[in-house]
Amino acid sequence: MNNNKSRRYDVAIVGGGIGGSILAAILARHGVRVVLFEGGGHPRFAIGESTIPETTLGLRVLAARYDVPEIADMAAYGSVRRKITSSCGVKRNFSFVHHREGEPVRGTDCAQFPALSAPLGPDVHYYRQDIDAWSYQLALSYGADGYNHTFVTGVEFDSDGATLATVDKGEFRVDYVVDAGGMNSLLGKQLELRVDPPTYQTRTRTLFGHFVGVLPFDEVAPPASEHKMPQPLSQGTLHHLFEGGWVWVIPFDNHPQSTNPLCSVGISLDLDRYPVNENESPEEEFWAHVNRFPTFARQMRNAKAVRPVARTGRVQFQSRNIVGDRWCLLPHASDFIDPLTSSGLSITAMAVNVLADRLIDGVRTGDFAPERFEYLETWVKRGFEYYDKLVGYSFTSFDSFELFNAWFRVWTINTLYGSNGLMEALWAFDRTNNPTVFSVLEQPPYRGMQGQDNPHCAELFRKACQAMQDYRDKEIETAEACDRIYAALSDSGLVPSTWKQTDSTERSPATALTLIPMAQVLAWGKFRSPAYVRGHYMQHGVTEVLGRASAFYRDEVRHSAAAAYYATRDLVAVRNRDWRKIGAKITRRANHGGGDR
């Protein structure tokens, strides 16, 4: 769709994925003349398939602040299924299973952290080709002009704006250019922004694809009575961990009302420990790693790839700058660390939030000075620096379950505070209906990701990183590294009283985020936490959560009896037996054409 015959726009966005399309929708909603270029066309394959609490809440912030309510439909599984596509999966948790080569998984080598529950969640496994296509159409519905299957070949900047050249659609004149093109960033290449090689400590490569016939892990794992995880392992993003690597299993078929039989499976490997063997095909290497671990191999025994397995070189890339004169890069075009922790979409939501406000104001005032966008440069870079340490030391922690079990708790605490900062802004909006309340997210201690603007969260992370570095340098053993991390957690004062973060025997150290446990955490924060928590976090929420729960339930009941059942269950309970229905379907499909590997 393109209605502007003059080819003169305020903002051009190069890349029509989630980030670029959501930004285009917001800008168009506020009267900005936007042109959106998508080179590959929709629908098309993309990775970045798992949301996390900061993504879910970040999308809700965008919807409320910029009055684009459809963005909130992307935030939770139920609304995605009803209003966007039934091809996505549900994400109720992050599950982690540590493997030893050649040995079955031990039930005691499992850990879990809950994702958001209703009414704010559950989080989602995005089937990106559908989500991206819907996002692109959303931008067009708000008035953005879109050029699908249109490659931008170059951009020429001058003092008044930029001229974009395309392969077959001619030239376009704009005031500002946003590069949302991902790893193959147009401006990254043209302006020679890439740091080569990247300075990040994380050095990984991946093998990945979409498969049919992947069994729910609960069907092959030790029984729940042994692993003691509160939620089914297949009801979230499953991480198989091993020395020097990890595997993601992101099912799109893990809800009874999903219509998609696919499952995303990928392996991330330490590049130095597992260099590429060019004499081995990507598929051969993929299955060789699967078969190293008997329980994982059982999960994949009927699996078949629906597209060739992809193999990458080093996945990290880095940019010297992400903001310049009349241009900027969205995070997925500027830097990348690793799929671990599923941070890509959350940092994109944060960046779109701060960028949209500045672009809307820039169009109104005619002021696009780079200094106006310095906040984006600072906090996106800080976000990637944080995630590099988080992922890099996570790979170190994969040496043993004991070490990972200590280390991952630091991430869970940072997730709590990063998420609650967004919650507090949402609660303020619920009370006032005033979008200016979201400006607090650009003030201490709420800036950036994962609570790292909070000195207490930052100090906890620093102490834990130092323990991991000392372990990596062989200055201390596993036990001492774990002790130091648990001590840092205890000393931080950040741990809610209902969470068992300092108990190493409790492998699901955070309570579920259903109504009652969430209310308990919020009550601790408001009444019993240290002053440096109480003054900034969890100041509100119990009343607001109950109000949203009531509205959520009424909305679900209107749709069907099945929706009402799932709504009632998911508001109060975390355990379910949905995986048995899914597993039976997969087994039946496999028995009619699948084969063991």
Which of 103-107, 248-252, 323-327, 341-345 is predicted with the least confidence, judged by mean pLDDT? 341-345
Whether residue 23 contacts residue 13, with contact meaning beta carbons closer than 8 Å, is answered with yes
What are the angstrom distances between the C-alpha of 310 and each of 207, 248, 313? 5, 14, 10
What are the residues whose beta carbons fall under 8 Å from the beta carbon of 282, sequence distance 6 or more?
207, 308, 309, 310, 311
Q: Where are the alpha helices (DSSP H) in 98-204?
A: 128-141, 186-190
Check pLDDT > 90 for residue 88.
yes
Distance of CA 334 to the CA centre of its chain: 16
| pLDDT for position 5 | 63
Q: What is the mean pLDDT of residues 184-210?
A: 98
Beta partners for 311?
Answer: 207
Report pLDDT digits (tens) over 288-338. Answer: 999 999 999 999 999 999 999 999 999 999 999 999 999 999 999 999 999
CA distance linking residue 88 with residue 529, whole number of Å:
38
Q: Write out 282-323 in H/E/C secondary structure.
A: HHHHHHHHHCCCHHHHHHCCCCEECCCCEECCCCCECECCCE
- Mean pLDDT is lowest, of 7-11, 65-69, 204-208, 572-576, for 572-576
CA distance 155 to 327: 10
Q: Which domains does the chain have, with CATH numbers?
A: 1-87+126-194+318-390 (3.50.50.60), 89-124+203-315 (3.30.9.100)
Compute CA 254 distance to the chain's CA centroid, rounded to the nearest angstrom.
Answer: 18
Residue 593 has pLDDT above 80, yes or no: no
CB atoms inside a 10 Å sphere around CB 226: 13
pTM summary value: 0.94
Could you please report the per-residue DSSP string of 82-105? Answer: HHT-S--EEE-EEEEEE--TTSPP
pLDDT of 45 reads 87
| Tokens, residue 578 | 């949905």
pLDDT for the residue 299: 98
Token output for 497: 């009283």
For residues 344 and 194, the answer to whether their CB atoms sit within 8 Å is no
Other Cβ atoms within 10 Å of 458 Cβ, number: 16
- List pLDDT tens digits, range 515-530: 888 889 999 999 999 9
The CA distance from 72 to 52, in Å, is 14
- Give dist(CA 428, CA 438) in Å, integer: 8
pLDDT of 587 > 90? The answer is: no
Mean pLDDT of 10-15: 98
Q: Is 161 helix (H, G, I), strand (E, B) or coil?
A: strand
Beta bridge partners of 154: 165
As a whole-number percent, the residues of the chain with pLDDT over 70 amount to 95
pLDDT, residue 542, reads 72
pLDDT of residue 565: 76
Task: Determine the Cα–Cα distance for residues 229 and 219; give it in Å rounded to an integer.
Answer: 14
Which pLDDT belongs to residue 511?
A: 87
Whether 352 shows a pLDDT value over 90: the answer reads: yes
Looking only at the bridges linking them, the beta strands covering 304-305 and 204-212 are antiparallel
Q: Which has the closest alpha carbon to 548: 432, 408, 427? A: 427
Neighbour count for residue 400 (Cβ, 10 Å): 17
Q: Which of 237, 183, 229 is nearest to 53 (CA)?
A: 237
Distances from the Cα of 244 to the Cαs of 60, 205, 385, in angstroms? 36, 11, 21
